[in-house]
Chains A and B, each alone.
Chain A
Amino acid sequence: MTQIDPRVEEAVDTLPLSAITRRRLLSGAGLASAGLAASALLAACTSKKSTAAAAGVGAFAKTPKWRFVFVNHVTTNPFFVPTQYGAADASTLLGTTHQWTGSQNSIVPEMVNATNAAISAKADGIAISVIDTKAFKTPVDQALNAGIPVVSYNADGAVGNPGSSRLAYIGQDLFTSGVKLGERIVSLVSGGDVVGFIATPGTLNIQPRIDGAKKAIVSSGKPITFAEVASGALLPQENTTIDAYVTGHPNLKGIFAVDAGSTQTVGQIIAKHGLKSKGVAGGGFDLVPATLQAIKAGNLDFTIDQQPYLQGFLPVLYLFLYKLSGGLVSPPETNTGLLFVTKDNVDPYLTTKTRFEGSSTAQQVITRSGAIVHA
């Protein structure tokens, strides 16, 4: 009796038998073995049916309606609209719910309060944009102590210092994206004055980018003088700051930015002063509509896409799997990408309005055609 169907063995395991009876049963000895085996198999089948009846989404076992809390630093910023759609879609897919909270203006104490409230409310998982290297250490530790899994998304402390003991980070590798920006700047500008605008210096979802850009420019050895300028968190303020700087520095060879608002504004100011015809290079981050228009019009050379939709979708998925597997499926570090959008591949972004870019609420299938752009 070496060949025992694993399903039979499994079924037998469900019976409350001593080790000896079990062995006898499996070896076919004893009178009752056939009957017992049958009843066990029957039980296995019915229990299988009952799990199918009480099943959760897809092939998963039934789960409670888990609630995951996203703590964000700029809750009403348009950049995060696709992130919220991603979280909502994953929640619908998995039968969970999510809450979008935090601060409207990068106010760290408010974010800490929201995190603490999520811990008190016994949230089933928390995703935090860790924009400060110190403030989130204690709240994240407390959540983990309370058995609540925590991941970071979009921002993850500083280079070499995640700023919390979160299980994993889901977002762009910010420093690397800055290095890539710097390399692109070096390839576009041969030398002279270059400025990089940053909305709020020191905020850790953007500061590593400008640090990376500076490093790449310095290590290229080209005679580029790179100035880092704060442009402000609000769009009107960014517009006046960048306009004034560009007016005051007529010798600029390149104008770049590391956040969505500043990038959009750089495009507008380059257009306003007609700098493209003077050979001034421009570029930056993220996919707000004005930035895409500026790329199409040729005022910006490139922008970098970091897939904000995935930054909402994947944390929900990871937290769900962590809960479902009792912690066995631990969230992996995920780089949501570094895609350069240029005049060559900007069209689909402009011609389609999608949930994945935050420009539409509609659920739809977007069919693409033609070859996939590759190196």
Chain B
Amino acid sequence: MAEVEATLPARRRSLARRAADEFLRRREASILLVAIGLAAYFQVAKPVFLSRGNLVTLSQYVAPVAIIAAGEVLLLVSGEIDLSVGSVYTLAPFLMHYAIDYYHSPAIPAILLVLLVGALIGLINGLVTVALRVPSFVTTLGTLFAINGITLLTSHAYPAEIPASAAGIGRWLGRADWSELTWAVLIVALFHTVLTSTRWGLHTIAVGGNLVGASEAGVRVGRVKVANFMITSTLGALVGMLEAFRVNTIDPSAGGTEIMFAAVAASVIGGTALAGGSGTIIGAFIGALVLGTLRDGFNLIGISAEAFDLILGIAILGAMISNVHLARLRRAGRT
């Protein structure tokens, strides 16, 4: 009896420690702690941070970056990068507008067509990179400008309106409060499963981790890379349409390099290696959450534009440094 009483608290303690260990062993844990810390700080500084209205705003900062980051993680893990995804984002809603208003396509086929064109651009990025052996940084730098040029030429750099026939479906595609976040969660869940639990994910990691080894083991490395380019561009096209529906206008200055850098930053903050072979999509989602929390929180507490970039830069560095060192502690704990 006395013995049992003595061991019970000890066992409970070891259980708590095991749970903490289990949590810290996950790669996403450290960045999640940073995100929670930031959210707590902003909630204390401005108690409306966790109000419904602001959570909607926050979700709209996070979701577009998180969706594109899901694609970028796949590419980064397989050892490539896509700089052109922001240009696809800008072009996509214009394509939808052309298809519906000039070619009288119904809304849903037009949207599917745009996603298809997104995949096609990814195919071009992939084929130029894999078959013509141009580094993806350069390939997609080229397509970044080329696609942006197509947008500017065809739109005469002039904003367009959301086609009336597509307005109804817009509720599902970004217009309703939580619809962007819903898309983001679904896409992140899907691709996280793909990356962690399928043969495709294993091949993606293998290609980025050890290209020669993977190809000698029979992995079709070219096909893996090309398909990941296609996924990323398609996601870029989807986000472009979501954002156009959300703000109810098609604008030639939306998207571009800013959203692309935000997505790459979210991936890296979330623990994906730029050199390939390792990465996590949930981590990228939390990375996007950190970036969105910073942007939204700074607006809430009223930091003006000029100080904004400086503080954002310092905050990204701070988040990254603490992330790297928490990861080191994690590794130390494991051995």
Contacts and interface: CB of A to CB of B under 8 A. Distances in A.
Interface of A: 67, 69, 72, 75-76, 97-102, 104-110, 112-114, 116-122, 132-135, 137-138, 200-203, 230, 233
A346 to B, nearest CB: 29
B296 interface: yes
B41 interface: no
B252 interface: yes
B51 A120 contact: yes
Given A109-B243, A121-B48, A132-B159, A138 B248 contact: yes
Interface in B139-163: 156-159, 161-162
B305 A134 contact: no
Nearest to B250: A134
Interface of B: 46, 48, 51, 53-54, 56-57, 60-61, 64, 156-159, 161-162, 243, 246-249, 251-256, 258, 295-296, 299-306, 308
A108 B57 contact: no
Contacts of B53: 116, 119-120
Contact of A105 (B159, B162, B256): B256
Given A116-B53, A120-B57, 11 more contacts: A101-B299, A108-B247, A109-B243, A113-B57, A114-B299, A116-B56, A120-B51, A133-B249, A135-B249, A201-B158, A230-B156
Contact of B249 (A69, A104, A108): A108
Nearest to B299: A117
A295 B128 CA distance: 51
A106 B156 CA distance: 16
* Nearest 3 Cβ contacts at the A-B interface: A120-B54, A75-B305, A117-B299
Contacts of B300: 117, 120-121
A134 B299 CA distance: 23
Which of B46, B300, B303, B306 has its CB near the most chain A CB atoms (within 10 A)?
Answer: B300
Contacts of B157: 200-202, 230
A312 B205 CA distance: 53
A200 B299 CA distance: 27
A67 B243 contact: no
A109 B254 contact: yes
B248 A134 contact: yes
A174 B228 CA distance: 47
A105 B257 CA distance: 11
A104 B252 CA distance: 15
B57 A101 contact: no
A122 B247 contact: no
A67 B159 contact: no
A101 B253 contact: no
Nearest to A84: B304
Contact of B246 (A99, A101, A109): A109
Contact of B303 (A99, A109, A119, A122): A99
Contacts of B256: 105, 107
Given A112-B247, A113-B295, A120 B302 contact: no
Nearest to A80: B305
